[in-house]
């Protein structure tokens, strides 16, 4: 789960990380009022969406007057802001963050991420802030600093000092930098975050270290014990297909294709996507129905897949261990009947109670195609989808 910049900064502040003063605004008038509260002669108006690279898309404006603030706010609010991270559909701007402008003397990149290979939190830092980490690694690879944190002892002062000195900071700034690094780590540890990114972390002209921007992501699996974090969720920033699925406990990731997938197990789901691609099709989603899937859960999986208007065919691929093929078959039959499914549907079942599952489908009398292997299932669903495309093209001609 991602949160907005202003929420991330509020959390960082509680862990001792300095951030510029600012306030949230929902209208141009409120944006002007926030600036007057901050005083000064220069402000930054920032669109609050779950995406980086907002500045390149016009989502960050430096303003020197109330008129400029009002104009910037009017332009941003209600706009679908498109960045390279949002995709062509963009994300709706429904709130702004107005903060005091900062005199920047140096920019730094500082990130904390859960490294699955290391099974540790890894600190990634660079003295070249202001760019995406991918750009930094390609343009300034020698500037990348990596430091693995031992979970048994956590981030120690000596380790934070090593990182700070490696960034080339002035000796007088090291105590501030250490406080910032340890504060970020503690926040990540105590809130079940899986990523904390400050880009840029800046040194101001007056010699202060501040988080000028912040991105934080949390482990969805830990939200049950973090109700205060769950309350920060903004569903308007999420893919509605993924929101529908996650609210029902399904693992779903929306893609751009036309063939919907319902599979059990992440590895088998990835293999299914690959086989569809190899057969010449384009998968519309990744969906792991999970272990012990009941007929009701299978029905919900169909609903999640059909929420995507681009889906024109569906492939169900189940290798049952904890699952039972007869439960899956019951769910498939219910879905076809209750959702009045007319698009091509291919089902491949294997494992526990497979013969009973196949019998239920065969005796249902419904137009459900079956296959013995994943390769056959992928070929069959792609052919069925291709036939639909061909018939549509002929009808249009």
pLDDT at 221: 85
The domain that holds 49 is classified in CATH as 3.30.1490.20
pLDDT at 389: 80
Residue 4: inside a domain, yes or no?
no
- The answer, yes or no, to whether residue 231 has pLDDT greater than 70, is yes
Report the run of H or E that residue 139 belongs to, with start and end: helix 133-139
Residues 14 and 87 sit within 8 Å (Cβ to Cβ): no
List, for residues 84-135, the tens digit of each pLDDT value: 888 888 999 999 999 999 999 999 999 999 998 888 999 999 988 876 777 7
**109: annotated active-site residue:** yes
Residues 167 and 177 sit within 8 Å (Cβ to Cβ): yes
With cut-offs at 50, 70 and 90, classify the pLDDT of residue 140: confident
Residue 56: inside a domain, yes or no?
yes
Host domain of residue 113: 104-229
List, for residues 52-79, the tens digit of each pLDDT value: 889 889 999 999 999 999 999 999 999 9
Q: What percent of the chain has pLDDT over 70?
A: 98
46 is in an annotated binding site: yes
With cut-offs at 50, 70 and 90, classify the pLDDT of residue 137: confident
Tell me, yes or no, whether 328 and 308 share the same domain: yes
With cut-offs at 50, 70 and 90, classify the pLDDT of residue 208: very high
Q: What percent of the chain has pLDDT over 90?
A: 79
213 is in an annotated binding site: yes
Residue 94: inside a domain, yes or no?
yes
Which structure tokens are listed for 341? 């499914």
Paired strand residues for 319 = 350
Residues 345 and 369 sit within 8 Å (Cβ to Cβ): yes
> Which residue in 5, 197, 258, 330 is the catalytic one?
197
Distance of alpha carbon 342 from alpha carbon 297, whole angstroms:
20
pLDDT at 394: 65
Distance of alpha carbon 286 from alpha carbon 171, whole angstroms:
50
Tell me, yes or no, whether 254 and 387 share the same domain: yes
Q: Per-residue b/e over 26-45, b at no fewer than 16 CB within 10 Å?
A: eebebbbbbbeebeeeebbb
pLDDT at 246: 86
Which structure tokens are listed for 296? 């009701």
List, for residues 329-363, the tens digit of each pLDDT value: 999 999 999 999 999 999 999 999 999 999 999 99
pLDDT at 293: 80
Residue 14: inside a domain, yes or no?
no
204 is in an annotated binding site: no
With cut-offs at 50, 70 and 90, classify the pLDDT of residue 375: very high
Residues with Cβ within 8 Å of 307's Cβ and at least 6 positions away in sequence, in order, are 240, 241, 244
Residue 345: inside a domain, yes or no?
yes
356 is in an annotated binding site: no
194 is in an annotated binding site: no
pLDDT at 395: 64
Residue with tokens 């930094």: 136
- Measured over the CA atoms of residue 93, residue 9, residue 222 and residue 321, the dihedral's sign is positive
Tell me, yes or no, whether 82 and 34 share the same domain: yes
In the listed set 75, 100, 125, which residue is the last one of a domain according to the structure? Answer: 100
- The DSSP secondary-structure symbol of 196 reads E
List, for residues 313-335, the tens digit of each pLDDT value: 999 999 988 889 999 999 999 99
pLDDT at 341: 94
In the listed set 42, 75, 100, which residue is the last one of a domain according to the structure? Answer: 100
Residues 185 and 114 sit within 8 Å (Cβ to Cβ): no
- The answer, yes or no, to whether residue 245 has pLDDT greater than 80, is yes
> Which residue in 5, 97, 109, 252 is the catalytic one?
109
Tell me, yes or no, whether 191 and 255 share the same domain: no
102 is in an annotated binding site: yes
Distance of alpha carbon 197 from alpha carbon 303, whole angstroms:
35
pLDDT at 141: 81
**197: annotated active-site residue:** yes
The domain that holds 253 is classified in CATH as 3.40.50.261
Paired strand residues for 63 = 43
Count of other CB atoms within 10 angstroms of residue 111: 18
Please, what is the average pLDDT of the chain? 92
* Mean pLDDT, residues 218-223: 89
- The answer, yes or no, to whether residue 397 has pLDDT greater than 60, is no
264 is in an annotated binding site: yes
Calculate the CA dihedral of residues 377, 383, 387, 389 and round it to 10 degrees: 90
């Amino acid at each position: 789960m991602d949160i907005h910049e202003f929420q991330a900064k509020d959390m960082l502040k509680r862990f001792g990380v300095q951030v510029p003063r600012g306030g949230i605004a929902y209208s141009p008038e409120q944006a002007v009022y926030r600036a007057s509260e901050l005083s000064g002669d220069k402000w930054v108006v920032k669109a609050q969406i779950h995406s980086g690279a907002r500045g390149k898309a016009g989502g960050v404006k430096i303003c020197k007057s109330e008129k400029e603030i009002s104009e910037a706010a009017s332009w941003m609010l209600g706009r679908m802001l498109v960045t390279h991270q949002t995709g062509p559909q963009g994300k709706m701007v429904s709130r702004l963050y107005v903060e005091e402008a900062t005199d920047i003397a140096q920019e730094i990149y500082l990130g904390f991420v859960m490294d699955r290979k290391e099974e540790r939190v890894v600190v990634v830092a660079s003295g070249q802030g202001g760019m995406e980490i991918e750009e930094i690694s390609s343009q300034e690879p020698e500037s990348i600093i990596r430091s693995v944190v031992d979970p048994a002892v956590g981030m120690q002062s000596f380790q934070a000092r090593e990182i700070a000195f490696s960034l080339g900071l002035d000796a007088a700034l090291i105590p501030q930098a250490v406080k910032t690094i340890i504060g970020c780590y503690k926040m990540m540890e105590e809130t079940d975050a899986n990523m904390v990114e400050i880009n840029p972390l800046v040194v101001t002209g007056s010699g202060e270290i501040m988080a000028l921007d912040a991105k934080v992501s949390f482990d969805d699996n830990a939200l049950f014990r973090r109700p205060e974090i769950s309350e920060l969720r903004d569903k308007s920033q999420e893919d509605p297909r993924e929101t529908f699925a996650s609210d029902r406990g399904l693992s779903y990731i929306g893609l751009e294709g036309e063939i919907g997938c319902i599979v059990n197990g992440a590895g088998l789901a990835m293999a299914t996507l690959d086989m569809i691609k190899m057969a010449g099709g384009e998968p519309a989603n990744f969906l792991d129905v999970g272990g012990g899937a009941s007929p009701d859960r299978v029905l919900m999986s169909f609903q999640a897949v059909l929420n995507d208007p681009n889906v024109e065919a569906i492939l169900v691929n189940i290798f049952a261990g904890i699952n039972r093929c007869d439960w899956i078959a019951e769910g498939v039959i219910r879905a076809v009947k209750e959702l009045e499914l007319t698009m091509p549907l291919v089902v491949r079942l294997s494992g526990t109670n497979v013969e009973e599952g196949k019998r239920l489908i065969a005796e249902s009398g419904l137009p459900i195609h079956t296959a013995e292997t994943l390769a056959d299932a992928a070929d069959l669903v792609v052919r069925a989808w291709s036939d639909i495309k061909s018939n549509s093209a002929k009808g249009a001609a």
